[in-house]
Amino acid sequence: MDSTKKGILSATFAYIIWGLVPIYWKQLDMVSSNEIITSRIIWSFILTLIFVVAIRQGKDLLQDVQTLWQHQKSFWSLVAASYLISANWYIFIWAVNHNHIVETSMGYYINPLVSVLLGVIFLKERLSKAQVLACIIAFAGVAVLIISNGKFPFVALGLAFSFGIYGLLKKQIKLDATRGLVIETLFILPLAVGYYIYLIAKGESAMFHLDWVTTLLLIGTGVITAIPLILFAVGAQNIPLYLVGFFQYIAPTMTLLIGTFIYHEKFGLHDFIAFGCIWLAIIVFSYATIVEAKKSKNLA
């Protein structure tokens, strides 16, 4: 199998798994969101660490930690990133188990545009007029949602900005994705373990106290975190960035369909208008990005 085909298959499967994740979290709706996120952090660390050791990258992992410590700015940026991704995970899990799946899909549709906005503000990146227009259209869609529902879309914007800022921090740190997950979860691990000890002491832990299926699903939160990340890392290494950008819309599209047709969440006219603005913004932005890329290539 050539590298491009390998990259396409890996990226596609990564985003398909991420798109199906709401169904997984729904199987744990009898467990509190706090315990689910705690389990996810602990088991992601354990299983990813086992994987890193199994592929004989344990020494590389130790070297990564040493290098990070020598570069304090990168070290503390990664600490901040670990808490941001944990917040992102928590918002998503809470939203799925409180019937806000459709709103999570909006968050991940908006996320690439938020990342662009953060790049402009913090990295002094420049946008074409078409890209600026795309951002305006997207945020017009958010405004429609706020006006029609009479409430702020905390879930959508919380997901978009937490992941966007996480990406901004990670962009400035050179670190292997899989080993990076071990280190990120290590930073948040003491809090997660402490909280689990508290749950066990209070007799409120679902793991090993409810049925064995629930226990296995909680352990599986580590698997469902690690596998798509590893697949994504393989995909990103073997295909152009514009293809990665195209594939990232697979997951929120699947999430939107799952929320609407499987769990029957509301998707009325105002929602359609809001999403329509965001879809239009994505089309305009993608087209403008492709045109800019071609111009750069021709100039080169």
Q: What is the pLDDT of residues 167-212, one digit of tens each?
A: 888 877 888 878 888 999 999 999 999 999 999 898 889 888 888 9
The total number of residues written for the chain in this structure:
300
Secondary structure tally for the chain: helices H, strands E: 12, 0
**pLDDT of amino acid 132:** 85
Q: 53-63 burial string, b = 16+ CB within 10 Å, else e?
A: eeeebeeebee
Once rounded to an integer, what is the mean pLDDT over residues 207-222?
90
Question: What mean pLDDT is reported for the chain?
Answer: 87
Inform me whether the pLDDT recorded for 298 exceeds 70: no
HEC string of 92-150?
HHHHHCCCCHHHHHHHHHHHHHHHHHHHHHHCCCCCCHHHHHHHHHHHHHHHHHHHHHC
The answer, yes or no, to whether residue 56 has pLDDT greater than 70, is yes
The pLDDT of residue 53 is 94
Taking the mean position of all CA atoms in its chain, how far away is CA 88?
A: 7
In the prediction, which pLDDT does 241 show?
59
Q: Distance between CA atoms of 190 and 41, rounded to whole angstroms?
A: 10
C-alpha torsion 210→212→218→221, nearest 10: -160
Picking from 260, 214, 276, the residue whose alpha carbon sits closest to that of residue 99 is 260
Q: How sure is the predictor about 116, in pLDDT bands with cuts at 50, 70 and 90?
A: confident
Type of residue found at 206? A
Distance CA 279, CA 53 (A): 42
DSSP 262: I
Residue 184 · residue 44 · CB < 8 Å: no
Q: Residue 91 corresponds to which tokens in the numbers above?
A: 């918002």
254 burial (CB, 10 Å; 0-12 / 13-18 / 19+) is buried
Provide the pLDDT confidence category of residue 297 given band limits of 50, 70 and 90: low
How much is the pTM?
0.87
**What pLDDT score does 1 carry?**
66
Residue 168's alpha-carbon distances to 39, 173, 220, 243, 265, in angstroms, are 26, 9, 29, 20, 32
Higher pLDDT residue, 232 or 30? 30
Residue 2 has pLDDT above 90, yes or no: no
Express each pLDDT in 237-288 by its tens digit: 777 656 666 778 889 999 999 999 999 998 988 889 989 998 998 888 878 8
- Answer yes or no: is pLDDT of 39 > 80: yes
